């Protein structure tokens, strides 16, 4: 996948899915396209049209043009990812294949002009079964063309309703309450506990219940958890006292420590002395068979972006692990990655961060354990 346009930056990411075709090539033709929010998957716009008698390639380019135009109508500064099952269009728009057919040249130029007006655009090929929504729209358009009808479909934001006015920047933050899971057998022995599904000890379950009681009256609007068992079990205790559903988010799972899973720090140092030294010195270095802190940081930021979209101005409990919570704290403070090595986080500890829509964040509490039995 390669960038085809660049320039203005934007925090918003959109996905364009487009398709087109004809019955006979050339024959009765039509296209379909849609725009999704890249984080939530929500369909923001749909457009389709019968275009009379044309080839498959012309219809596919028309679908791309319509999709880019729809994306520009939502946010001209957005970063856009185009997904199509047309290898020809994807390769030509990515600049890897030459455009030889004279019918394609003006269409490609029109698409490139639209792309240049967006924050950035990249192109990726997907198999037809993953482009089913756009394919369905294109087939509706082709059916109309076969009947000799000029047919269009255009739905933006909410079908049948006027587009809502843009929401102003809010001074009310989204608040994340960050709860580390309760005690596990590995945490007692200070062993690397990554993506293995370790369960809570009896004491860990008691810690989770104590945290749940402390959170009962904190005005939670949602509970989001790492998918790993020790976090799901902790989150379930909070759900039991608040009545809220629990949503799993893979981005908040712990680091994959690879070959070091289940080992103590000393054991990892004995078996991989050079690798451990490099890992401690550089966040881009991963444990053997695992992932680096830099990789974890990327998925944690994506998970946070999802929260900001779904839970604007709300209070969300995030049940997670040492590394993701420290990374969120680091980002809130604008601290370097080296700050991770200077934070201590207890099991079942609570931290809280306010995230404001205009960018800044405020760390309000960190490693609060007052709710735990002594």
- List the beta bridge partners of residue 90: none
Picking from 333, 368, 323, the residue whose alpha carbon sits closest to that of residue 354 is 333
Distance from C-alpha of 283 to C-alpha of 24, rounded to nearest angstrom: 56
φ, ψ dihedrals at 318, nearest 5°:
-115, 115
Q: Is 181 a catalytic residue?
A: yes
Annotated active-site residue in 46, 49, 60, 181: 181
Distance from C-alpha of 314 to C-alpha of 323, rounded to nearest angstrom: 24
Q: Is 254 a catalytic residue?
A: yes
DSSP E strands, 66-199: 79-84, 120-125, 152-156, 174-180
Distance from C-alpha of 124 to C-alpha of 2, rounded to nearest angstrom: 8
CB distance 46 to 33 below 8 Å: yes
Distance from C-alpha of 135 to C-alpha of 137, rounded to nearest angstrom: 5
CB distance 119 to 76 below 8 Å: yes
φ, ψ dihedrals at 42, nearest 5°:
-65, 135
Annotated active-site residue in 46, 254, 261, 291: 254
- List the beta bridge partners of residue 47: 33, 154
Catalytic (active-site) positions: 181, 254
């Amino acid at each position: 996948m390669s960038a085809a346009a660049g320039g203005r930056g934007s925090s918003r990411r959109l996905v364009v899915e487009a398709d087109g075709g004809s019955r006979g090539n050339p024959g009765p033709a039509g296209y379909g396209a849609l725009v999704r929010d890249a984080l939530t998957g929500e369909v923001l716009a749909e457009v389709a049209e019968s275009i009379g008698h044309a080839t498959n390639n012309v219809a596919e380019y028309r679908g791309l043009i319509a999709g880019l135009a729809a994306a520009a109508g939502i946010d001209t500064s957005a970063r856009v990812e185009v997904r199509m099952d047309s290898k020809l269009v994807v390769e030509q728009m990515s600049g890897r294949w030459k455009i030889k057919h004279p019918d394609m040249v003006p269409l490609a130029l029109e698409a490139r002009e639209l792309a240049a007006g967006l924050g950035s655009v990249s192109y990726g090929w997907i198999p037809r079964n993953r482009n089913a929504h756009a394919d369905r729209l294109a087939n509706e358009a082709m059916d109309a063309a076969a009947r000799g009808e000029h047919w269009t479909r255009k739905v933006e934001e909410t079908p049948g309703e006027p587009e809502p006015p843009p929401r102003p920047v809010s001074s009310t933050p989204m608040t994340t309450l960050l709860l580390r899971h309760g005690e596990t057998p590995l945490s007692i022995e200070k062993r690397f506990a990554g993506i293995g599904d370790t369960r809570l000890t009896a004491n860990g379950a008691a810690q989770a219940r104590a945290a749940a009681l402390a959170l009962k009256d904190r005005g939670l609007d949602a509970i989001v958890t790492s998918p790993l068992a020790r976090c799901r079990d902790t989150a379930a205790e909070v759900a039991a006292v608040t009545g809220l559903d629990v949503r799993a988010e893979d981005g908040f799972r712990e680091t994959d420590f690879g070959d070091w899973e289940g080992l103590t720090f000393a054991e990892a140092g004995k078996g991989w002395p050079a690798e451990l030294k490099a890992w401690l010195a550089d966040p881009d270095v991963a444990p053997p068979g695992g992932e680096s802190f830099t990789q974890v940081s990327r998925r944690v930021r994506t998970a946070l972006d999802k929260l900001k979209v779904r839970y604007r101005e709300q209070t969300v409990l995030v049940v997670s692990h040492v590394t993701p919570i420290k990374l969120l704290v680091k980002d809130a403070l604008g601290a370097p990655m080296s700050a991770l090595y200077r934070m201590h986080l207890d099991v079942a500890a609570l931290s809280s961060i306010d995230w404001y829509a205009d960018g800044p964040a405020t760390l309000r509490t960190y490693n609060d354990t007052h709710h735990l039995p002594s």
